[in-house]
Amino acid sequence: MRPLRSFFNLSYRYKIPLWGAFLIVATAVIISGAQFPRAYDNIKHDLLRNATSQGQILARMLAPALRQDQVWQAYEIIDAPLHDATPDNTMQADTLLVLDARRQVYVSTRPHSLPMLADFARRSVEYGQVAASIAKMGKATRVIEPEASDYLYVATPIVDVQTRLGTLVQVYSKKLLWPRIEASVEQAGWVALLALAVLVPLNWYWGHRTATPLLRLTERMEQLSHELPDELPTKIYDYEDELGRLFRAYNQTLQQLREKALIERGIIHSERLVAIGRLAAGVAHEINNPLLGMLTSINTLRRHGAPDARTNKTLTLLERGLTQITETVTALLVETKVNSRDFAPQDIEDVKTLIAPQARKLRVTVAWRTELAEPAPLPSTLVRQVMINLILNAIQAAGEDGGVEAVVAVTGPTFLFEVVNGGRSLSKAQVEHLFEPFTNVGETGRGLGLWVCYQIVNQLGGNIAVDSTTVAGTSRTRFGVTLPIAAR
Amino acid sequence: MPTRRLFLSACASFALAPALAPAALASVPTRAVRVGLTPVFVDDQHGFLADWRAYMGAKLQQSVEFVQRNSYREIMDLLRLQKLDFAWICDYPFVYLHKQVRLLAVPLFNSRPFYRAYLIVPARMTHVTSLLDLRNKIFAYADPYSNTGYLEPRYQLRQMGEDPTHFFRRTFFTYSHINLVEAVAVGLADGGSVDSFVWDSLDRDRPDITRRTRIVSQSPEFGFPPFVAHHAVPKESFLSMQEMLLTMADDAAGKVLLKRLNLDGFVVGDARNYELVARMMRAFGEE
């Protein structure tokens, strides 16, 4: 059992060709084996046909000899066929003998074991069976095959006109059949070997064709638990059978797993940003109140405390610092609950005007494509802020003499704004933290622009995504904003 | 089987055209000299007979025709009917036909005009020491008109007080001494009586056969199977034929032929050498 088990544990790479080869060899052996009985029957049939015709000729020649009681002549007649012997003549009888009417040996070619006048039936059990068959036989030649005997007996009556004078018995050893059977089986064996020479390599190739894709698939399935493996190139096995379907199913599953992983990462990212936003808002609220108190106190002190010039200067420093903190905190606190008119095509013209000085400074061309025909029901102040932030960032990223594309469109219930620049693409790590506060990609500003954009878009229920690639030396960074348009 | 053997027949016969051949009639197409032989010889038999016939024809300046039959009896009948001029026959037929034929010449075997009967058995039957040990056995005879192959063993049994007809369990004829040796060699017969000339010649040419037989006993000597002439053969023919045989040993071609026959030559012979056979025949009420 153990060797069998270890066979089944083998890789398909070996198991399929081995199993196929085994089946082919087994088939060849069975087919060759099936030749045995057929060859035996054919050869036996040949032997008996020859023996019968020889027996009938000899019996005719023996009739006068028996009639005239010419023992020597009878001996010469039955002895003659034994001298036709050639090594290839497997049809050679082993012994010939003539029995008289009482089934005593009249003459035989083996006088030592079958002497004249011997009672044939009593010489051995086998001869007894043969003699019994001879006693019952008619005028036709009869083949007698005693059970478990190594010999075949062909008995032909010797008849003179009507009188039965005796019986000619030709004894053939079955061993004589073997060389011819072996020859014919050997022939079948060669044909089988030839077939094997063709089929085994074919089978090996086919096994390899089947096993290799299976192996690849297995390797990848095993990887699945700790990482997402590559896709399987379908060209390794481009058929519609179960294996081919397994391949496609694997690729589909892999695709779904990838998408799921992407979504999970997006969720984690946005949850983090939400948490940061909440923290920032909380901190800002807590800081705002004392700040306002401190600024009011400084104002009171300056107005009623009559500070001297030095103190006044210190107060100014304090006031400037606190104001800066206020501004920063205010910037972190993105407040979207402002009353604002709807975003109109005129707002786009304003944005163009506002960004123009910066574009001119860096000689960046901004190509616009706007498909906004009527006002969209979105707070114009906030949308303008997002647009300006993103376009200024893009101009910055594009660098001197660079190019920026801006697209504004409304498709169904979605407001779309897209900015593309051809500047250096963003690294994976940069993209990962892009919308967090104080992330400074462009090395200018406080790093709150994209944070603000994200907060605004997020609070408006929209989505902001970045896509930065470098393909064949051409970089392309795209910021896309989608905002749902509330039905009026 | 005889067709596979080298030559030899114990007894053979010849004949000459009677009343023919004077020189005055030389221009008349002469009848061939008819010489009969009993069977046996070999593959080589036809070659040997053709050579001997050519030799005889050249010596006699007359064509010679050999006549062969399967048994002694048939040659004896042809001789009696004057279908043969000369014949080489066994001593027993010679005595039997003494009224029709006369002695022409006798071959020399081992330089003497005598031969014997050998009692042979299969080599493995080592316990047999005499003919009496073959009681109830299968015995092979050569020919009913053979001395050594039939008359002699029967005479011996009779001398020992046995009835030759019932002494053996079964007997059969092989119609040639070579076949007889073969029958004993293969074990078909448990014993047989054979011409010593045939056995010795066969022992020279086919020792593989004789080795499978064993000589148990030898008979007294008999006159060798002679060449005989029918009484009707004219004196000239008789003499030229006799002269031809007697001088065979004197020329090279004749010697070669004699050697192939395993003989040394021919002598005129003496009819008294055959008296023993006549006595044996009388014992069986023949003659």
Q: Each residue of B126-153: pLDDT tens digit?
A: 999 999 999 999 999 999 999 999 999 9
Is the predicted pLDDT of residue B6 greater than 60, yes or no?
Answer: no
Q: What confidence score (pLDDT) does residue B34 get?
A: 94
Q: Which of A104-108, A175-179, A445-449 has the highest mean pLDDT?
A: A104-108
By C-alpha distance, which of A26, A20, A35 is closest to A199?
A: A20
Is the predicted pLDDT of residue B2 greater than 60, yes or no?
Answer: no
* B170 chain-A contacts, CB cut-off 8 A: 116-117
Residues with Cβ within 8 Å of residue A418, at least 6 apart in sequence: A405, A406, A407, A478, A479, A480, A481
* Choice between B121 and A24, residue whose per-residue pLDDT is larger: B121
What's the pLDDT tens digit per position in A271-300? Answer: 887 788 788 878 887 888 888 888 898 888
The two tokens of residue A51 are 């023996």
**What percent of chain B is predicted at pLDDT more than 90?**
77
Based on C-alpha coordinates, what's the Rg of chain A?
55
- Cα–Cα distance measured from residue A306 to residue A324, given in angstroms and rounded to the nearest whole number: 25
Nearest-by-Cβ selection for B188 from A69, A70, A107: A107
Of A98-107, A253-262, B119-128, where does mean pLDDT reach its minimum?
A: A253-262
DSSP code, position B133: G
8 Å CB contact of B175 and A112: no
Question: Which among B146, B184, B188 is the top mutation candidate for probing chain A, defined by the most A β-carbons within 10 Å of its own β-carbon?
Answer: B188
Query: How deeply is B237 buried, as exposed, middle or buried, from its count of CB atoms within 10 A (0-12, 13-18, 19+)?
Result: buried
Is the predicted pLDDT of residue A70 greater than 90, yes or no?
Answer: yes
Q: What is the DSSP string of B10-48?
A: S-BEE---SS---GGGTTSPPPPEEEEE-S---TTHHHH
Alpha helices in B135-251 (DSSP H): 152-159, 164-167, 177-186, 196-205, 207-210, 235-246
8 Å CB contact of B1 and A79: yes
Nearest-by-Cβ selection for B179 from A69, A72, A115: A72
Question: Which among A71, A96, A97, A117 is the top mutation candidate for probing chain B, defined by the most B β-carbons within 10 Å of its own β-carbon?
Answer: A71
Is the predicted pLDDT of residue A321 greater than 60, yes or no?
Answer: yes
Is the predicted pLDDT of residue B10 greater than 50, yes or no?
Answer: no
Q: What confidence score (pLDDT) does residue B22 get?
A: 41
Based on C-alpha coordinates, what's the Rg of chain B?
19
By C-alpha distance, which of B247, B36, B11, B5 is closest to B150?
A: B11
Nearest-by-Cβ selection for B174 from A72, A107, A117: A72
Is the predicted pLDDT of residue B19 greater than 60, yes or no?
Answer: no
| Cα–Cα distance list, A294 to A72, A290, A298, A301, A320 (Å) | 156, 6, 6, 10, 12
Query: How deeply is A229 buried, as exposed, middle or buried, from its count of CB atoms within 10 A (0-12, 13-18, 19+)?
Result: middle
Q: What confidence score (pLDDT) does residue A443 get?
A: 58
Q: What confidence score (pLDDT) does residue B157 get?
A: 96
8 Å CB contact of A75 and B187: no
What is the rounded average pLDDT of the residues A344-373?
89
Contact status, residue B146 vs residue B96, Cβ threshold 8 Å: no
Q: What confidence score (pLDDT) does residue A285 get?
A: 79
Alpha helices in A224-241 (DSSP H): none
* A107 chain-B contacts, CB cut-off 8 A: 188
Residue A20 — pLDDT band, cuts 50, 70, 90?
A: confident
8 Å CB contact of B138 and A70: no
Dihedral of the CA atoms A444, A450, A453, A454 (nearest 10)? -160
Give CB contacts under 8 A, 24+ apart, made by A448-452.
A448/A331, A448/A332, A449/A389, A449/A392, A449/A393, A450/A389, A450/A393, A451/A332, A452/A331, A452/A334, A452/A385, A452/A386, A452/A389
Residue A385: count of CB within 10 angstroms of its CB: 17
What's the pLDDT tens digit per position in A408-465? Answer: 998 888 999 999 998 888 888 788 788 887 776 665 666 778 888 888 888 888 888 8
* A95 chain-B contacts, CB cut-off 8 A: none
Question: Which among B5, B172, B209 is the top mutation candidate for probing chain A, defined by the most A β-carbons within 10 Å of its own β-carbon?
Answer: B172
- Distance from A180 to chain B by nearest Cα, in Å? 31
Q: What confidence score (pLDDT) does residue B23 get?
A: 40
* B213 chain-A contacts, CB cut-off 8 A: none
A–B CB contacts, 8 A cutoff, strictly below: 31
Q: What confidence score (pLDDT) does residue B8 get?
A: 41
8 Å CB contact of B169 and A117: yes
- Cα–Cα distance measured from residue A212 to residue A206, given in angstroms and rounded to the nearest whole number: 10
8 Å CB contact of B188 and A75: yes
* B183 chain-A contacts, CB cut-off 8 A: 72, 75
Residue B246 — pLDDT band, cuts 50, 70, 90?
A: very high
pTM over 0.80: no
Nearest-by-Cβ selection for A111 from B172, B174, B188: B188
- Distance from A137 to chain B by nearest Cα, in Å? 28
> Scanning every residue of chain A, which has its alpha carbon at the shortest distance from the alpha carbon of B180?
A72
**What percent of chain A is predicted at pLDDT more than 70?**
95
What's the pLDDT tens digit per position in B38-64? Answer: 755 443 577 888 999 999 999 999 999
What's the pLDDT tens digit per position in B219-243? Answer: 999 999 999 999 999 999 999 999 9
Q: At what angle do helices B177-186 and B196-205 cross, to 10 degrees?
A: 70
> Scanning every residue of chain A, which has its alpha carbon at the shortest distance from the alpha carbon of B2?
A76
Chain A residues in contact with chain B using a Cβ-Cβ cutoff of 8 Å: 69-72, 75-76, 79, 107, 111-112, 115-117
A200-210 as b/e: b if 16+ CB within 10 A:
eeebeeebeeb
- Cα–Cα distance measured from residue A123 to residue A108, given in angstroms and rounded to the nearest whole number: 13
* B173 chain-A contacts, CB cut-off 8 A: 70, 72
The two tokens of residue A388 are 């300006």
